[in-house]
Amino acid sequence: MRRLAALAITTGLAWLLVVRLGTEPAGSAALALGFALVAASIVGWLFEFLRLPRVTGYLAFGLICGPYVANIITEPMARDLRAAGGFAIALIAFIAGLHVQLRRAVPPLTKVALLAAITLIIAWSGFAAALYLTWPWLPIGPDLVGFQRLAAVVLTATVLVGVSPTVTVAVIAESRASGVLARLATATVVLVELGVIILFAIGLEGARLAFGSSGRDGWTIAASTAWTIIGSLSFGALLGALFTLYVRFIGREVTIVLLALCALVAGLGPQL
Amino acid sequence: MIPTRDVRGRELGGPDPLDRRLGTASPSPLTWLLSLLRTRSALGLAPSLTPAVIFLPLGALLGPGGLDLLSPRVLGRLDMAVTIALAVLGVLVGTALGRQIRTAYRLLIAASLESAVTTVAVTGATVYFVRATGLPLDAPVVAFALALGLCASASSATSADPDSEPVAAVATRVADLDDVLPIVLATVAFAVLPPVSASAGWMFALAPIAIGLAVGTIGWLLFERAESAAERVVFVLGALALAGGAAAYVRVSPLAVGLVAGLFWTVAPGRADRIVQDDLKRVQHPLVVLLLVTAGALWTPSAASLWLLAPYLLFRLAGKVVGAWATAGFLEVRAGDLAAFLMSPGVLAVAFALNFRQMLPPAAGETLVSTVAAGTAAFELFALAVVPHWRRRRQ
């Protein structure tokens, strides 16, 4: 009852400020963040109480309060929240990294890679076949035929088959799972995502040839893809090593350093 | 003598909780070298360097005037965190007020008198100085001067360990409570500053109380019933973000909203204030650093800010000395001792400046932050020199 009362006051306050009183952009991101943290947590709890997944509650809350329904979190507010989102992703990924036990990987990496490959192939093939057959009825480019349709289908299927390691880790953390299945799911999703990045680079090159566009050459795309994968791993490893040295030899104000590191990753990572 | 139990530097809290869990770092040859720059000292937990001395210059170095790592775009994005940090400081002032108001109302009166004297001294001097020199400002002179005076009234007493001696404990409690009057005056100033009608002025004056009470009620309903520590932290951070964001959204002071919420949590039945204080320890140091680095990055060495620095330094010093002299009798301590401990402005002065920056026209806001940032660094250094020397002489 207390939670429902808190939800009502929170929603009422946000609605009064955003919908009734103002269009003031200042502080909108902080307001959206506070409203989302408090209200979404309560809605998640409510869903769990009703034996439904918490994550579904969060999504339902976002949908209802977002720009397309109640508009309590307006489009500019949602845009401003991306800064917090990037920071949260860096923090979640950091925590996920802490839980990866390379020496105790269960099952071994080869088996996980095989599982990821099979998952990717089956899912991607299914999407590609369905898209190819239904293409004339889709509002993407119904007039495309032959090689051009094939290239468009390859790209669309690749986009659709993409997974999010961050969301997977968030769901695992939310459900407090820590067993073999959770570790397997995390590792599989990471490998599938790597496969999707490579597949997307190949698909993009194919689309460039099919549509005769003068984009970047194949080597540039390959180099860019390699940099995305290897560069991000190297950058993360470098920061991780520096952080380890800091904790080991200084070990003071670790929270400040950790948050600064996450801010650095969130801000600098995409620019690299 | 005022009782000295349960006294801690409020702005900085205790040691970082993560550090305590990790334990001490491995000894190494680097340890000795790094001990010179211990962040423990930098955060004012030891009576040597205070955070402002380290992080204000660091912010200036990283800011647009320096390496430009904290570019105007990044600083714009940091506004969200700054707003939340202001609400957090307001909550800390509110909880300090709520705990001490029943037992130490004499302290509150004395602290308010001391801060009022400083505010009047700096405001009056600034008005006279600006009018006499014809200094160009793109804001009403009285409003700007009042903002500068309110920034000057803040004290932190972080130059000494509160437990080191009775007068340091009293000074710390005075410093805890002398921010209440400036926050209240800032709320009134927020209602008067914008070109609004009388009815809208009333709304601006009442909005912090209404929002603070709403956030206080939300927290009071949620904090104690959280099912896990993680959920409780989410509720606490959410409530604080809501307080700061809602205040900024309707252009009222996040400090005032935080103060009302903090006061509510302390006065209301239950343990909400303890829960908030415990959970805030996790983010208290990062928020202090954020405010100082942001203020440092916003420092712009303009002619106006350099000219205003002179009356700010001189009349803040005079205000603190006269304020300590006027209140020392109530507190049964020597005026000189109290004035020496109250010299350090701490992070609250910077917080006031960042708060007013959100209200003033851009150029005036920049001048205010620059003056207060430079003045804070100067006073922190002054306090570092004065307090140990003062203590040695007394002993």
Which chain B residues in 250-269 lie under 8 Å from chain A, judged by CB atoms? 250-251, 254
CB within 8 Å: A34 and B238 = yes
B245: chain A residues, CB-CB within 8 Å: 27-35
Of the pLDDT bands very low, low, confident and very high (cuts 50, 70, 90), residue B7 is: very low
Of the pLDDT bands very low, low, confident and very high (cuts 50, 70, 90), residue B40 is: very low
pLDDT for position A23: 61
Average pLDDT over residues A140-161: 88
pLDDT tens-digit readout, A27-61: 678 888 899 889 988 998 898 888 888 888 888 88
A3: chain B residues, CB-CB within 8 Å: 221-222, 225
Å between B59 CA and nearest CA of chain A: 13
Of A7-21, A36-50, B21-35, B168-182, the poorest mean pLDDT is in B21-35
Of A100-104, A237-241, B355-359, the poorest mean pLDDT is in A100-104
pLDDT for position B375: 92
Return mean pLDDT, chain A. 82
pLDDT for position B197: 59
Residue of B221, B224, B232, B279 to mutate, interface with A, max A Cβ within 10 Å: B221
pLDDT for position B210: 92
Q: Which residue of A has its CA nearest to B15?
A: A253
pLDDT for position A48: 85
| B150 Cβ contact list (under 8 Å, min separation 6) | B119, B182, B185, B186, B189, B352, B356
Residue B65 in domain: yes
Of the pLDDT bands very low, low, confident and very high (cuts 50, 70, 90), residue B27 is: low
Helices (H), chain B: 17-22, 29-35, 39-42, 51-62, 72-100, 105-133, 141-153, 166-177, 180-192, 198-222, 229-249, 254-267, 272-297, 303-331, 335-342, 346-357, 362-394
Residue B60 in domain: yes
pLDDT for position B5: 40
Using alpha carbons, list the distances in angstroms from residue A143 to A2, A138, A152, A205, A233. 57, 10, 11, 21, 41
Q: Give the 3-state secondary structure of residue A179.
A: coil
> Which domain range does residue B97 map to?
50-394
Q: Which residue of A has its CA nearest to B42?
A: A253
Looking at per-residue pLDDT, the higher value among A125 and B32 belongs to A125
Residue B63 in domain: yes
Average pLDDT over residues B125-139: 87
Q: Which residue of A has its CA nearest to B254?
A: A27
Q: Which residue of A has its CA nearest to B203?
A: A21
Using the Cβ of B281 and the Cβ atoms of chain A, whether some distance falls under 8 Å is answered with: no
B289: chain A residues, CB-CB within 8 Å: 256
Instruction: Tell me how far apart the alpha carbons of residues B92 and B87 are, in angstroms, rounded to a whole number.
Output: 9
pLDDT tens-digit readout, B53-70: 888 899 999 888 888 888
Q: Which residue of A has its CA nearest to B23?
A: A251
Residue of B78, B237, B242, B347 to mutate, interface with A, max A Cβ within 10 Å: B242
pLDDT for position B47: 46
Residue of A17, A19, A31 to mutate, interface with B, max B Cβ within 10 Å: A31
Using the Cβ of B199 and the Cβ atoms of chain A, whether some distance falls under 8 Å is answered with: no
Looking at per-residue pLDDT, the higher value among A183 and A119 belongs to A119
| B337 Cβ contact list (under 8 Å, min separation 6) | B167, B171, B390, B394
Å between A57 CA and nearest CA of chain B: 15
pLDDT for position A218: 65
CB within 8 Å: A247 and B22 = yes
Of the pLDDT bands very low, low, confident and very high (cuts 50, 70, 90), residue B45 is: very low
Instruction: Tell me how far apart the alpha carbons of residues B8 and B168 are, in angstroms, rounded to a whole number.
Output: 10
Residue B24 in domain: no
Percent of chain B with pLDDT over 90: 22
CB within 8 Å: B242 and A10 = yes
Q: Is the pLDDT of residue A214 over 70?
A: no
pLDDT tens-digit readout, B194-206: 555 556 667 777 8
B251: chain A residues, CB-CB within 8 Å: 24, 26
Cβ-based contacts under 8 A for chains A and B: 163
Task: Tell me the ipTM for this assembly.
Answer: 0.79
Q: Tell which residue, B257, B287, B259, B251, has the closest CA to residue B360.
A: B251
Q: Residue A266 in contact with residue A89, Cβ under 8 Å? A: yes
CB within 8 Å: A28 and B245 = yes
CB within 8 Å: A249 and B31 = yes
Average pLDDT over residues B168-183: 81
Residue B5 in domain: no
Task: Enter the tokens of residue B133.
Answer: 């020199």
Helix, strand, coil percentages (3-state) for chain A, rounded to 5, are 80, 0, 20
Å between B245 CA and nearest CA of chain A: 4
Average pLDDT over residues B111-120: 90
pLDDT tens-digit readout, B380-393: 888 777 766 666 66
CB within 8 Å: A253 and B43 = yes
Percent of chain A with pLDDT over 90: 12
Of A141-155, B32-46, B147-161, B335-349, the poorest mean pLDDT is in B32-46
Average pLDDT over residues A73-80: 82
pLDDT for position B160: 56
pLDDT for position A248: 82
Which chain B residues in 7-26 lie under 8 Å from chain A, judged by CB atoms? 16-19, 22-26
CATH value at residue B304: 1.20.1530.20
Q: Is the pLDDT of residue B120 over 60?
A: yes
User: What is the DSSP-derived secondary structure letter of residue B225?
Assistant: G
> How many domains, in total, are found in chain B?
1
Of the pLDDT bands very low, low, confident and very high (cuts 50, 70, 90), residue A94 is: confident
Q: Tell which residue, B349, B347, B346, B368, has the closest CA to residue B357.
A: B368
φ/ψ region of A251 (left if φ > 0, alpha if ψ in -120 to 50, else beta) reads left
Instruction: Tell me how far apart the alpha carbons of residues B87 and B172 are, in angstroms, rounded to a whole number.
Output: 21
Average pLDDT over residues B160-180: 73
Return mean pLDDT, chain B. 80
Q: Which residue of A has its CA nearest to B79?
A: A27
Residue B309 in domain: yes
Of the pLDDT bands very low, low, confident and very high (cuts 50, 70, 90), residue B87 is: very high
CB within 8 Å: A252 and B83 = no
Of A164-168, B155-159, B340-344, the poorest mean pLDDT is in B155-159
Looking at per-residue pLDDT, the higher value among A191 and A166 belongs to A191
Percent of chain A with pLDDT over 70: 90
